[in-house]
Structure 1
Amino acid sequence: MARDRTALAKRVALGAGCLAAFLGAAHLAERADRPAVPAAAPVTERPLPPELPRQALTAALATAAPVAPAPKPVAPLPAAYTVKSILPVKSPFVHGDWYWDESAAPSTGKIVVTVDLKAQVLSVFRDGHEIGTAVMIYGADAKPTPLGVFNVSFRKARHVSSIYDAPMPYTLRLTNDGVSIHGSESMRPDAATHGCVGVPIAFAKKLFAVVQLGDTVIVSNGETLKAGQPITAA
């Protein structure tokens, strides 16, 4: 009887083992048929963007819209050429008269010549000081002396007009068509020129000695200058 129980227990245990093995195999087969589920990716912090390389920064600055430069400071305007002293010429001052005195002027400085057709007077200034003045003759109505600001473009001590074949000593040319300041022997009230400004020859020689190429000559009609008055065109 005891032997039968032992045999029965062995059969039960064997059956249980076979059942367990069967269930295990079935479970494995089911897992093999089912698609594998991927493992979840580990959660990490999002990295910060890397620093912009120096080359990229330089390129970005190069392509950026240019910044307008700061405006340059405006240069101050040069001071006007002011009349500082006038020669003490006594009246009457008639054709043929002239006056020269450099004692009140510096030995160097900007030279400016003024010609007033209405007053028939030419004056020369150095650094604002009048150093010479003379009564002059000028162009007739048919050949008027032009008004304006000129620069001496030609100078010659012994010059002869190629148009009129006339001597023009100590010529200081003002225009391309030959209008000049020069010495003249015809210093009469009724004398006229073909547009040039004629002065006594002795005065023309002194004027020629101080006026150089490029110096300014202002021809006006009634512009009388006084001490302290600016010569703005100079």
Structure 2
Amino acid sequence: MAGMFRSVAPKLAIALLLGGGALLAMQWIDRPAGKETAPTPVAEAKPAAAPAPDKPVERRSDQPMAIDPNALRVKRVLQIDGPFRHGDYAWDEKGAPATGPIIITVDLRAQTLSVFRAGYEIGAAVILYGATDKPSPLGAFPIMAKHADYYSRTYDNAPMPFAQRLTSDGVFIHGSDVQWGRGTHGCIGVPTEFARKLFGVTKVGDVVVITDGKMLDVSQAEKNG
């Protein structure tokens, strides 16, 4: 779907920092004293299985989730020199933690997507987004599902490589031929190679925050399922 000209503005980005850990206890079994016998084999105690993570609540485009704004923090952004044009992206994990919570930010006005790990920006790309009659939603949405090889069920079986679904009414982040003047039916389109890299670092439940260049009150978002 053709879109109007939209200049790429400076990037705006935020990151969500979460933490957590687990402690596993070992058990020891004592045998009462008495006649010496051959040691009785004892099965190694196994730690209790961690509970399965809760599946994110299904949300429509008009039902963004609430997140704690005090948890949003940026520690580093990538240095991107020169113009950042349609089809361009940057990916650099050097100096960033190898593990940590992932958050994705999308600025529709700046036409950019950024991905952070533990507050460190590791990737950024120029995007396509929804045209006037099919706008991209604003707010925070969890990744609901991931499909490396996906085709649209609504728009002529169009390929959507490395698709990550955000809403129950069909908004995804996915690989696209990102060219100036193009738009989407509400999805966030990124260069396909960038989509592949992004797909490799995210998991279901990671949060995507979409803004129009203005600060959103994500703490008061609607919580309906």
TM-score category (smaller protein): 0.5 to 0.7
**Structure 1 residues without counterparts, runs of 5 or longer:** 1-76, 225-230
| Cα distance per residue 1:4-35 (max 9 Å; x no partner) | xxxxxxxxxxxxxxxxxxxxxxxxxxxxxxxx
Q: How does 1:28-39 map to 2 (within 5 A)?
A: none
Partner residue, 1:98: 89
In the alignment, which residue of structure 2 is the partner of 1:228?
Answer: none
Quote the residue 2:100 is aligned against.
Answer: 109
Quote the residue 2:149 is aligned against: 158
The C-alpha deviation readout for 1:29-73, integer Å capped at 9, x for no partner, is: xxxxxxxxxxxxxxxxxxxxxxxxxxxxxxxxxxxxxxxxxxxxx
Q: In 1, Cα distance between the equivalents of 2:70 and 2:88?
A: 33
Is 1:122 paired with 2:113?
A: yes
Show CA shifts across 1:180-203 (max 9, x none): 000002x11100000000000000
| Structure 2 counterparts to residues 113-192 of structure 1, below 5 A | 113-164=104-155, 165-185=157-177, 187-192=178-183
| Percent of matched pairs sharing the same residue | 52
Indicate whether 1:203 and 2:185 are aligned: no
Contact 1:113 1:216 in 2 (8 A): yes
Matched ranges for 1:22-101 at <5 A: 80-101=71-92
When the two chains are superposed, the root-mean-square deviation of aligned CA atoms in Å is 1.9
Q: Tell me how many residue pairs correspond in the alignment.
A: 150
Please list the CA deviations of residues 155-180 of structure 1 after superposition, one character each: whole Å capped at 9, or x if unmatched: 00000011111000000100001100
Q: CA deviation at 1:91?
A: 2.1
Q: Partner letter of residue 155 of structure 1?
A: K
**Whole-angstrom distance in 2 between the partners of 1:140 and 1:105:** 35
SS in structure 2 at match of 1:134: strand
When you count helix as a share of all residues, which structure comes out higher? 1
TM-score in terms of structure 1 length = 0.61
Equivalent in the alignment of 1:72: none
Q: Which gives a bigger RCO, structure 1 or 2 (Cα 8 Å, sep 6+)? A: 2
Matched to 1:222, the amino acid is G
Stretches of structure 2 that go unaligned for 5 or more consecutive residues are: 1-67, 221-225
Aligned AA (2:165): R
In 2: Cα distance, 1:134 partner to 1:222 partner: 16
Answer whether contact 2:86 2:180 (CA < 8 A) is retained.
Answer: yes
Q: CA-to-partner distance for each residue in 1:123-180, whole Å, 9 max, x for gaps? A: 0000000000000010000000000100000100000011111000000100001100
Task: Indicate if the aligned counterparts of 2:161 and 2:192 stay in contact, CA closer than 8 A.
Answer: yes
Deviations 1:208-234 (A, max 9, x none): 00011000000000149xxxxxx989x
Q: Partners in 1 of 2:70 and 2:98 — Cα distance?
A: 20
- CA separation of 1:194/1:78 partners in 2, compared to 1, >3 Å: closer, same or farther? closer
- Mapped to 2, the partners of 1:79 and 1:193 lie a distance apart of 32
2:95 and 2:144 map into 1 onto residues whose CA distance is 28
Contact 2:69/2:219 (CA < 8 Å) preserved in 1?
no
Q: Report SS of the residue matched to 2:153.
A: coil
* Aligned mates of 1:78, 1:141 — CA distance in 2: 29
TM-score by length of 2: 0.64
Question: In terms of Rg, which structure is larger?
Answer: 1
